[in-house]
Amino acid sequence: MSDIATRVKEIIVDKLGVDEAEVTAEASFTNDLGADSLDTVELIMEFEKEFNIGIPDDQAESISTV
Protein backbone atom coordinates (compact mmCIF):
# COMPACT_ATOMS: atom_id res chain seq x y z
CA MET A 1 0.00 0.00 0.00
CA SER A 2 1.35 3.43 -0.91
CA ASP A 3 2.14 6.04 1.71
CA ILE A 4 -0.80 8.13 0.51
CA ALA A 5 -3.25 5.22 0.71
CA THR A 6 -1.95 4.33 4.16
CA ARG A 7 -2.36 7.89 5.41
CA VAL A 8 -5.87 8.17 3.91
CA LYS A 9 -6.82 4.96 5.70
CA GLU A 10 -5.36 6.24 8.99
CA ILE A 11 -7.33 9.48 8.70
CA ILE A 12 -10.58 7.62 8.05
CA VAL A 13 -10.01 5.23 10.97
CA ASP A 14 -9.20 8.16 13.26
CA LYS A 15 -12.07 10.43 12.21
CA LEU A 16 -14.81 7.81 11.91
CA GLY A 17 -13.67 5.42 14.64
CA VAL A 18 -14.03 2.39 12.38
CA ASP A 19 -11.92 -0.73 12.28
CA GLU A 20 -9.04 -0.60 9.81
CA ALA A 21 -10.31 -3.77 8.09
CA GLU A 22 -13.56 -1.98 7.16
CA VAL A 23 -11.71 0.70 5.17
CA THR A 24 -11.41 -0.63 1.63
CA ALA A 25 -11.22 1.19 -1.69
CA GLU A 26 -14.83 0.24 -2.42
CA ALA A 27 -16.22 1.19 1.01
CA SER A 28 -18.91 3.86 0.98
CA PHE A 29 -18.35 6.58 3.57
CA THR A 30 -22.05 6.68 4.44
CA ASN A 31 -23.38 3.18 3.76
CA ASP A 32 -20.40 1.09 4.87
CA LEU A 33 -18.53 3.31 7.32
CA GLY A 34 -21.46 5.14 8.92
CA ALA A 35 -20.35 8.68 8.11
CA ASP A 36 -22.90 11.48 8.09
CA SER A 37 -22.61 14.68 6.05
CA LEU A 38 -20.60 16.45 8.76
CA ASP A 39 -18.18 13.51 8.99
CA THR A 40 -17.69 13.66 5.23
CA VAL A 41 -16.93 17.39 5.32
CA GLU A 42 -14.45 16.84 8.15
CA LEU A 43 -12.75 14.04 6.21
CA ILE A 44 -12.38 16.25 3.13
CA MET A 45 -10.95 19.06 5.26
CA GLU A 46 -8.48 16.65 6.87
CA PHE A 47 -7.40 15.30 3.46
CA GLU A 48 -6.85 18.87 2.23
CA LYS A 49 -4.79 19.71 5.31
CA GLU A 50 -2.76 16.47 5.32
CA PHE A 51 -1.88 16.58 1.62
CA ASN A 52 -1.75 20.37 1.24
CA ILE A 53 -4.35 20.38 -1.53
CA GLY A 54 -7.65 22.05 -2.26
CA ILE A 55 -10.69 20.05 -3.26
CA PRO A 56 -13.38 22.21 -4.90
CA ASP A 57 -16.82 21.89 -3.30
CA ASP A 58 -18.43 20.46 -6.44
CA GLN A 59 -15.81 17.70 -6.57
CA ALA A 60 -15.93 17.10 -2.81
CA GLU A 61 -19.69 16.50 -3.03
CA SER A 62 -19.11 13.66 -5.49
CA ILE A 63 -16.67 11.77 -3.24
CA SER A 64 -18.61 8.86 -1.82
CA THR A 65 -16.12 6.00 -1.49
CA VAL A 66 -12.66 5.60 -0.09
CATH number at residue 26: 1.10.1200.10
Q: Specify the pLDDT at position 12.
A: 98
Domain containing 22 equals 4-62
> How many domains are there within the chain?
1
Question: Model confidence over 24-44: pLDDT tens digits?
Answer: 999 999 999 999 999 999 999
Name the pLDDT band for 14 (thresholds 50, 70, 90). Answer: very high
Name 28's bridge partners.
65
pTM (predicted TM-score) = 0.91
Q: Specify the pLDDT at position 50.
A: 97
CB 66 within 8 A of CB 29: yes
3 is catalytic: no
Q: Residues 14, 36, 39, 57: which is the catalytic one?
A: 36
* Mean pLDDT in residue range 45-65: 96
